[in-house]
Amino acid sequence: MILKTSQELYQLTVQVFSACGATPEEAAWVAEELVEASLMGIDSHGVIRIPQYVNQVFSGSIKPGSKIQIIRETPSTAVVDCGLNFGAVSANKMVDILLEKAEHSHIACVVSRRSHHVGRLGAYAQKVAEKQMVALAAVNGAKGEHCVAPWGGREGRLCTNPFAYAVPTSKEPLVFDMSTSMIAEGRLRMYKNKGEPVPLGRILDANGNPSTDPKDFYGPPAGTLLPFGAELGYKGFGLGLLVEILGGVLAGVSLSDDADYVNGLCLIAINPDAFYGKESFVQEMDQLSEYMLSCPTAPGFDKITLPGALDFHRKEQRLQSGVPIDEVTWETIVKAAQKVGCSIC
């Protein structure tokens, strides 16, 4: 494994995407989201995505500098045309729109059209919670990327369709961020890069048989991911379908609009001032958190962990020790940088 500091990765990412035509603000937003994901141990949505984004700029599917604008709104809702700019850029702007509406209307919902890959979904829920509001977030994917089989199926009908929530406390917010499939595709890519087997029960090969070889997913012929829940996978399928509705159908995006976006993002904010007051809500959340942490542990466990706590802890560790990157991933990052004229020592 190669170790890089967060500052090294941030500077590299800004340099690469500036060379791709991003404005300084856009390059900074993308760099912040990718490096933060890597710091928190969400490596599948971190700097591993640099080569992907560079290639998509070259192919024209990401359009740096394109305008992001509201195309339909009410006092509490908005549909945002993201212009196929970097997903991290448009998602951050959607958060700003959402917070402004929730401050006045108390409950707000913002959905996207023509959004590119937004990266770590929990990041945007976290930003809302840091403003002392409750956040729900969902993101679907385009039909061409459907790789998750519905319960009982063996062909892709959904993407990994993450769902996240974040809730303020007096410390770090609670941040829950899960794929509605058994594994995120980016994490599967890491198994492939490292030459390691995937735990059983995550993927099927092209014939619908269980497999531990990540190559059986990527093909050809391509396999599928399973919905979350193992033998209770109908629960993950139901959640994945809800994400599809919130991320696509609610925004008026049909399956035939496949080429118009990569991710459909839905963000919802609930302002506690409309119910119990922000300060009182945070106090109650602190009490609820302490109550959860006071639970006696079961055999094999040494403590109770709240959603997001491990990620924040890992961030502190990696800020000190550096971000580990496997050699295959680092090689692809170096090649992507060289492709846009950036040299890496």
Q: Is the peptide bond before 221 cis (omega within 30 degrees of 0)?
A: yes
Work out the pLDDT band at 345, boundaries 50, 70, 90.
low
DSSP helix/strand/coil, 214:
coil
Contact 189, 217 (CB under 8 A): no
pLDDT of residue 127: 98
* Distance from C-alpha of 332 to C-alpha of 338, rounded to nearest angstrom: 10
Would the pLDDT of 187 be above 90?
no
pLDDT score of 129: 98
Q: What is the pLDDT of residue 221?
A: 93
The pLDDT tens digits for 10-41 are: 999 999 999 999 999 999 999 999 999 999 99
Q: What is the pLDDT of residue 185?
A: 85
% of the chain beyond a pLDDT of 70: 98
Ramachandran angles phi, psi of 272, nearest 5°: -60, -20
The answer for 244, left when phi > 0, alpha when psi is -120 to 50, beta otherwise, is: alpha
* pLDDT number for residue 260: 67
CB under 8 Å to 174, separation ≥6 — which residues?
129, 165, 166, 167, 285, 289, 306, 307, 308
Which of the four pLDDT bands, split at 50, 70 and 90, describes residue 85? very high
84 φ/ψ angles, rounded to the nearest 5 degrees: 60, 25
Find how far residue 94's CA is from the centre of its chain: 15
Residue 102 reports pLDDT greater than 80: yes
> Which CATH class, in words, describes the domain spanning 66-182+226-294?
alpha beta
pLDDT score of 259: 63
**Which is it for strands 107-113 and 77-81: parallel, antiparallel or unpaired?**
parallel
Q: Are 120 and 42 in contact (CB under 8 A)?
A: yes
Query: Averaged over 271-277, what is the pLDDT?
Result: 96
Three-state DSSP state, 76: coil
- pLDDT at position 144 over 90: no
Q: What is the pLDDT of residue 237?
A: 98
To the question of pTM greater than 0.95 for the whole model, the response is no
pLDDT in tens, 279-329: 999 999 999 999 999 999 999 999 999 999 999 999 999 999 999 999 999
- Cis peptide upstream of residue 220 (ω within 30 degrees of 0): yes
The alpha helices in the chain, defined as continuous H runs, are: 6-19, 24-39, 50-59, 87-105, 122-129, 185-194, 215-218, 233-247, 278-293, 309-321, 327-339
Pick the CATH number of 1-65+310-345 from 1.10.1040.50, 1.10.230.10, 2.40.160.20, 1.10.1530.10: 1.10.1530.10
List pLDDT tens digits, range 226-267.
999 999 999 999 999 999 999 999 999 877 666 667 899 999
Same fold, 1-65+310-345 and 66-182+226-294: no
Query: Residue 226: what pLDDT?
Result: 97
Q: Give mean pLDDT, residues 167-189.
A: 93
Q: Where are the domains of the chain?
A: 1-65+310-345, 66-182+226-294
Q: Residue 165: beta bridge partners?
A: 136, 176
Q: In terms of C-beta distances under 8 Å and separation of at least 24 residues, what long-range contacts does 90-93 make, across chains too?
A: 90/115, 90/116, 90/118, 90/265, 91/115, 91/118, 91/119, 91/123, 91/124, 91/265, 92/29, 92/33, 92/124, 92/127, 93/68
In this prediction, residue 26 carries a pLDDT of 98
